[in-house]
């Protein structure tokens, strides 16, 4: 039994992102408020109410400051619903894409016929909470002054530049494209267009990572709703079907004690998604790739097989804008729309749904039928991502 073409996304909800609480005296909102808000928006979009979710599926994503083991139940309590199938997202930033497959499996198996997938976080408004480092980070990175993901991804970027010969021009082009799309997205947070010169002049945080390579932490909530392909036909919005899906955790190219960090689990997750979908690369018109950092977007384009390894020429000649050869990051990405902890990655599911529905306004990709979304999470010691997932969505079952 395959999950391909058996389910569809029929509702999306996205609160505005903000950074309230970052400065003294600013008003604050709690995670619970963003959760309730995102759920309401997704239900309105789908033409459903809370009552429809009693006895159905709820998938709650753990965030960095809410990782207590009963989080899915607490989310149900916050939302005031009584689920019959409880799923959880424990793959960090990959969770939103992972849960497309897990929710589809639950629906296809007949456990339920609706799943609400939801996440929210308010790191600026709710200080403290649990942000535990792994033992490896605590014992073998922090004592040497490793400054979290900025530093760890700079190891990846530095090696990537060494092996590929990519320069600031290549990274800058991706940053400029993302901001251009953000300038056309009313939901984006950073909307003022930038130039490659702006990118090059942005300050170095951890060489070669610059400020404009980095994701923007934020508060916010997001949700999507899935149902069976059958039920989707009678819903308010055009169904966006799950055609292909793949996940890969603990990938290691080469020995585990010395893995190649320039090839991620997206290689395997993406291959599974393409095989399941039967869709070819040339028919994918929109790539919404997890973007904690600019070089990670480029490595995933390679991982997914849209170009070869270290293919500088491809990055130079391709127009990545929404009207171009291979549109990427059409929402502007988390780098410009904000990353409310592990909620951030849901942006890339929501944007692919918007594009396929034809709801993307000024940044609408013309003639789009198929798009791909990815998620990654956990930057492991001496290597790259621990969690990866990819999903291909389309307008026909």
Partner 1 sequence: MAETAKEISKPLPEITPVNQPFWDGARAGKLMMQKCADCGTWVFCPRPVCGDCSSATLNWLQLSGKGKIFSFTVIREVVGHALRGFAPDIPYVTAWIDLDEGPRFCSNIIGCPVDKVKIDMDVQVVFEDGGNGVTLPKFKPR
Part in contact with partner 1 (CB under 8 A); list of ranges 31-39, 89-97, 233-241, 250-258: 250-258
Contact between 143 and partner 1 per CB under 8 A: yes
Q: Compute the distance between CA of residue 383 and CA of residue 156 in angstroms, rounded to an integer.
A: 8
Q: Compute the distance between CA of residue 5 and CA of residue 62 in angstroms, rounded to an integer.
A: 28
Q: How far is the CB of 52 from partner 1 (least distance, A)?
A: 42
Q: Which residue has the tokens 């999470």?
A: 377
Interface mask (CB under 8 A) for partner 1, residues 159-198, using x and -? x--x------------------------------------
Size of the site for partner 1 (CB under 8 A): 36
Are 235 and 46 contacting, i.e. CB atoms less than 8 angstroms apart? yes
Contact between 256 and partner 1 per CB under 8 A: yes
Token pair, residue 192, equals 């003022």
Q: Compute the distance between CA of residue 245 and CA of residue 390 in angstroms, rounded to an integer.
A: 6
Contact between 381 and partner 1 per CB under 8 A: yes
Contact between 138 and partner 1 per CB under 8 A: yes
Contact between 253 and partner 1 per CB under 8 A: no
Token pair, residue 260, equals 């190649």
Contact between 65 and partner 1 per CB under 8 A: no
Closer CB to partner 1, 30 or 158, in the complex: 158
Q: Which of residues 145-164 bind partner 1 (CB under 8 A)?
A: 145-148, 150-151, 154-156, 158-159, 162
Part in contact with partner 1 (CB under 8 A); list of ranges 114-122, 223-231, 365-373, 380-388: 380-388
Contact between 314 and partner 1 per CB under 8 A: no
CA-only gyration radius of the chain, Å: 20
Q: Compute the distance between CA of residue 223 and CA of residue 225 in angstroms, rounded to an integer.
A: 7
Interface mask (CB under 8 A) for partner 1, residues 201-220, using x and -? --xxxxxxx-----------
Entry field: residues in the chain:
397
Part in contact with partner 1 (CB under 8 A); list of ranges 83-91, 170-178, 218-226, 251-259: 251-259
Chosen residue from 44, 140, 197, 362 binding partner 1 by CB under 8 A? 140
Closer CB to partner 1, 25 or 145, in the complex: 145
Closer CB to partner 1, 258 or 323, in the complex: 258
Contact between 378 and partner 1 per CB under 8 A: no
Q: How far is the CB of 188 from partner 1 (least distance, A)?
A: 24
Contact between 298 and partner 1 per CB under 8 A: no
Part in contact with partner 1 (CB under 8 A); list of ranges 104-112, 143-151, 234-242, 304-312: 143-151
Phi, psi of 201 (to 5 degrees): -85, -10
Q: How far is the CB of 271 from partner 1 (least distance, A)?
A: 23
Q: How far is the CB of 347 from partner 1 (least distance, A)?
A: 23
Which parts of this chain interact with partner 1 (CB under 8 A)? Answer: 135-136, 138-148, 150-151, 154-156, 158-159, 162, 203-209, 255-258, 261, 381-383
């Amino acid at each position: 039994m395959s999950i391909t073409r058996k389910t569809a996304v029929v509702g999306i909800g996205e609160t505005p992102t903000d950074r309230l609480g970052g400065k003294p005296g600013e008003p604050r909102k709690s995670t619970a408020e963003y959760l309730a808000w995102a759920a309401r928006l997704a239900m309105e979009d789908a033409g459903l109410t809370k009552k429809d979710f009693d006895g159905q599926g709820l998938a709650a994503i753990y965030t960095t400051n809410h990782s207590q083991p009963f989080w899915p139940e607490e989310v149900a309590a916050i939302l005031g619903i009584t689920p019959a199938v409880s799923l959880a997202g424990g793959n960090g930033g990959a969770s939103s894409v992972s849960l497309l497959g897990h929710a589809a499996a639950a629906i296809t198996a007949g456990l339920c016929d609706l799943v609400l997938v939801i996440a929210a976080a308010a790191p600026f408004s709710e200080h403290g909470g649990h942000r535990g480092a792994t033992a490896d980070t605590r014992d073998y990175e922090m004592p040497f002054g490793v400054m979290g993901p900025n530093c760890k991804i700079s190891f990846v970027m530095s090696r990537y530049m060494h092996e590929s010969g990519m320069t600031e021009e290549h990274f800058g082009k991706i940053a400029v494209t993302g901001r251009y799309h953000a300038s056309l997205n009313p939901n984006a947070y950073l909307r003022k267009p930038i130039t490659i010169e702006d990118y090059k002049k942005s300050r170095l945080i951890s060489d070669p990572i610059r400020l404009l390579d980095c994701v923007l932490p934020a508060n916010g909530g997001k949700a999507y709703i899935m149902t069976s392909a059958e039920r989707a036909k009678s819903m308010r919005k055009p169904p966006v079907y799950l055609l292909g899906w793949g996940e890969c955790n603990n990938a290691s190219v080469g020995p585990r004690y010395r893995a190649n960090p320039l090839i991620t689990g997206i290689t395997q997750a993406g291959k599974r998604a393409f095989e399941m979908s039967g869709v070819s690369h040339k028919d994918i018109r929109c790539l919404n790739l997890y973007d904690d950092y600019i070089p990670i977007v480029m490595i995933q384009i390679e991982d997914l097989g849209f170009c070869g390894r270290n293919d500088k020429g491809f990055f130079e000649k391709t127009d990545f804008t929404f009207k171009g050869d291979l549109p990427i990051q059409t929402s502007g990405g988390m780098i410009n729309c904000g990353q409310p902890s592990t909620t951030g990655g849901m942006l890339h599911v929501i944007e692919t749904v918007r594009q396929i529905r034809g709801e993307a306004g000024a940044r609408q990709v013309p003639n789009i039928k198929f798009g791909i979304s990815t998620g990654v999470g956990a930057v492991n010691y001496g290597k790259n991502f621990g969690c990866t997932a990819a999903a291909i969505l389309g307008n026909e079952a």
